[in-house]
Structure 1
Amino acid sequence: MKSFVAFDFETANYNRQSICAAGFVFVEQGEIVDQIYSLINPEEYFNSMNISVHGINPDDVKDAPTFPEFYDSIKDQLMGKTLVAHNLPFDGYALRDSIARYSIRPVEKYLLCSLQLAKRVLPKQPRYSLDFLSNQFGIKLENHHHALADAEACAKLFLYLTKVNEIQSFDDLYDRTSIHFGYMDEISYRSSLVNRKLKTEKSK
């Protein structure tokens, strides 16, 4: 749990495959060792609502790499890694849908969600958004909805939550939260999930 890759995407419109920016933060043994940020040409239209959230417009990405070009440049760094997003149902499926759209052969990777983890270990929070939790735990997030800033905040939040709750492995994660990691390879995609049956049994 001390070595993983936090990631975040911004999209041009409501389609999850319309990624227009990507941020990846590489963590090794609890320390951030590398960061990658790139604008991406989504080859789709931009919705005004999305622009108002992240500030990226069509002119910004006209010379940016397409998703296949970007993924090809980082895929070797993701091989066999655990990828963590704050709201995996969005970012994870954005990754999956973009890979499917371009018929890319993905590398093997594991998937976890810091939002899902926060809900399991902090059950009485009024909100679970990345900016709210970052502010609560003293994590710097000055440019919310910038893909790299969000990925870095996600990395620091995940490190904090796993450290405080003494979660050091997938087995610890499952024992303490009933969360089972997600997985992606060439033929399948499974998001992380909570084992509801185990949760019910533990509550008896």
Structure 2
Amino acid sequence: MNDRPTSPAPDRTGLRHLGELPEGRFRFLALDVETAGRGIGSICQIGLAFVGFDGRIATWSSLVDPCAPITRWTTRVHGLTDADVAGAPVFAALFPELRPVMEAYPVVQHSRYDERAFDAACRAIGAQPLRCPWVNSVTLARRAFPELRGNGGHGLANLKGVLGLDFRHHDAGEDARAAAQVALAAEARLGHQRSLGPLHDQLRFDF
């Protein structure tokens, strides 16, 4: 694969995410995770969005066996059940492939929940946390769209309507795409064309 993939077939969630991590160079990545509700490190789905230099976004997603039952409350949030993650890889099996990819780029997250979840999952398997520049798209949205403070706020659900985003909330791949779109929209609003620059570039926003 390369950084301009063709349209993938629907995955087991019915959404069109890549089945393999794409190759190539990207401006930045965006991450979202869903958890089983048994602690913040109980990741049951990982989604990554790969943002090209032309602004195109490709998403990869994988279900993850959290090695613990998924609570009924979290199922009501993201729709995933124990049956969905049965036979999925555990975090320890996925992480060695994810680490070099994620550490090569700035990684956007919408709030710091995803970073904390990854840190907790790493601790659970005895691995060092990711060493990558983390970018909070909530911070970017607050700077770019201050008029939303007290007027729906800067959560993905409200930004979906305000910015006209098209995604299924609480699917990790879709939410990763949305976080990337929020970062791009904030960049366009603020006029910082190099704010989330290419491989290992210094970030232009002062986080």
**Normalised-by-shorter TM-score class:** 0.7 to 0.9
Map of 2:60 onto structure 1: 36
**1:157 partnered with 2:182:** yes
SS at match of 1:109: coil
Whether the 8 Å CA contact 1:37–1:147 is kept in 2: the answer is: yes
Give 1 or 2: higher helix fraction. Answer: 1
Measured in 2, the distance between the counterparts of 1:172 and 1:83 equals 14
Query: So what's the TM-score if we normalise by structure 2?
Result: 0.77
Please tell me the residue identity of whatever aligns with 1:95: F
SS at match of 2:147: coil
1:33 CA displacement: 5.2
Please tell me the residue identity of whatever aligns with 1:43: C
Unaligned runs of at least 5 residues, structure 1? 180-204
Unaligned runs of at least 5 residues, structure 2? 1-25, 196-201
Whether the 8 Å CA contact 2:118–2:129 is kept in 1: the answer is: no
Instruction: Give the total of aligned pairs.
Output: 172
1:107 CA displacement: 4.9
Please tell me the residue identity of whatever aligns with 1:173: F
Measured in 2, the distance between the counterparts of 1:19 and 1:115 equals 21
Whether the 8 Å CA contact 1:5–1:27 is kept in 2: the answer is: yes
Please tell me the residue identity of whatever aligns with 1:109: C
> Percent of aligned pairs with the same residue?
26
Give 1 or 2: higher strand fraction. Answer: 1
- Map 1:1-204 → 2, pairs under 5 A: 3-32=27-56, 34-88=58-112, 90-125=113-148, 126=151, 127-141=153-167, 143-167=168-192, 168-169=194-195, 172-174=204-206, 179=207
Map of 2:23 onto structure 1: none
1:32 CA displacement: 3.2
Structure 1 residues 123-143: Cα deviation after superposition (integer angstroms, max 9, x where no partner): 2312211021122111112x1
Measured in 1, the distance between the counterparts of 2:34 and 2:67 equals 14
Structure 1 residues 173-198: Cα deviation after superposition (integer angstroms, max 9, x where no partner): 12xxxx2xxxxxxxxxxxxxxxxxxx
Query: So what's the TM-score if we normalise by structure 1?
Result: 0.78
1:118 CA displacement: 1.2
